[in-house]
Copies of this chain bind each other. A is one copy, B any other.
């Protein structure tokens, strides 16, 4: 049947109908060809899915080539450890237990140096501790006679497994020794129980620990010396990136709200990546915490000392998240149904945009401070600018009152109500006023970020920026300050230039 169908695909039977049109005759499909078609569809769907999967994988690789490098490193480490198997002297040195080295490499090899060190330490310490304990228990058990031996060993396994499992629920243990506790249980039960059978217990423990040390050393060497990825550097970069995203979102949201260029139509409006960058800040808490945990274990690398205050980065992250919450509220202003009339928006847009651009300037400067590990000479100036922009905004809100009129003015003594219809109503101003107050709130939260970054700069002893740059900034300030005293309007323009 399938064969027949193939033949007909070249030819075509046509029948001419009464009205002059012609219709092609399609051979009726039998059950086999229908199954065939179904299978073909299924296969095509499967192939499409697989292609999509590979496409996605390819994108991930292109986005971050270091991931590919990490995988190559993992493959390399595993191939090297296999050499232990291939080389007879090494194989016999560990009594055929080379398997443990392979296992160690598979389990311990992690993306960042810190994570690898952490897992290695956990594995070595967990194994050693459990090994010693198991020895002790085994000795006690063997002294207490044939009858009690399995009882004592069983009870000790039960008790220690229960205790170690419980310790994994304690947050401080969970954060640092989760894997160690697992390995502790594993080794203890293996050694204590197998000791009942295998007499050469000491040799077994010795072999196991030495193979594990071979594996961990190999992993640490490979992660550390071949294109290393440092948890500390990653955390550092993450915080910088998130700050830039925060600044971008803030700018983007306010611009979108005021539709700055008046060019964007509804269809063009892009709820794009840049605008939603703050969501990354909201979701990066877990990553930051684990990175900071790993970074503590890393040796000095790049521009970071061994005792770099990584914990401070968590505080910076928390203050950024607090800022991101407000940007989330800001973002919901854009989508809100209640919008202020265009002329009010236009009236307020300059002051608001000024606050947002000054605020994002501060964030960007902070990002630069962290990026370069140098105290910024202009941050105080920028913060002051932000505060003065906020002050302007507050004044503008005050002056908005002038445009407002009571909708119904109840005159005391008279029972009539006098309506004025020419001016605007509180409800109309409200959306813009709420946006403004959110901006003011955001700027105060940014000051918290400034504080945490300054703390970091102090604790980590950042150096000041190069002198020439400081002088240049000083010149800028000198140029601007007198104009501030003269004319506010001019200041605004000068600031926009800055």
Task: Tell me the A residues contacting B by CB distance below 8 Å.
Answer: 53, 56-57, 60-61, 67-68, 70-72, 74-76, 78-79, 82, 85-86, 91, 96, 99, 102-103, 106-107, 150, 153-154, 157-159, 161-163, 165-167, 169-170, 182, 185-186, 189-190, 193-194, 196-197, 283, 285-286, 325-326, 328-329, 332, 336, 394, 397-398, 400-410, 425-427, 430, 433-434, 437-438, 441
Closest to A423 in B: B406
Q: Let me know if B57 and A170 touch, CB within 8 A.
A: yes
Contacts of A438 in B (CB 8 A): 329
Q: Let me know if A161 and B78 touch, CB within 8 A.
A: yes
Contact partner, A430, options B75, B99, B157, B437, Cβ 8 Å: B437
Q: Let me know if B402 and A404 touch, CB within 8 A.
A: no
Contacts of A409 in B (CB 8 A): 402
Contacts of A158 in B (CB 8 A): 75-76, 78-79
Q: Let me know if A82 and B426 touch, CB within 8 A.
A: no
Closest to A111 in B: B169
Q: Let me know if B107 and A186 touch, CB within 8 A.
A: yes
A150 and B85 alpha carbons, distance in the complex (Å):
10
Closest to A433 in B: B430
Contact partner, A67, options B106, B166, B196, B285, Cβ 8 Å: B166
Q: Give, as a whole number of angstroms, the nearest-CB distance from A382 to chain B.
A: 22
Q: Let me know if A162 and B71 touch, CB within 8 A.
A: yes
A294 and B67 alpha carbons, distance in the complex (Å):
27
Closest to A398 in B: B427
Contact partner, A166, options B61, B76, B401, Cβ 8 Å: B61
Q: Let me know if A408 and B397 touch, CB within 8 A.
A: no
Closest to A445 in B: B332
Closest to A169 in B: B67
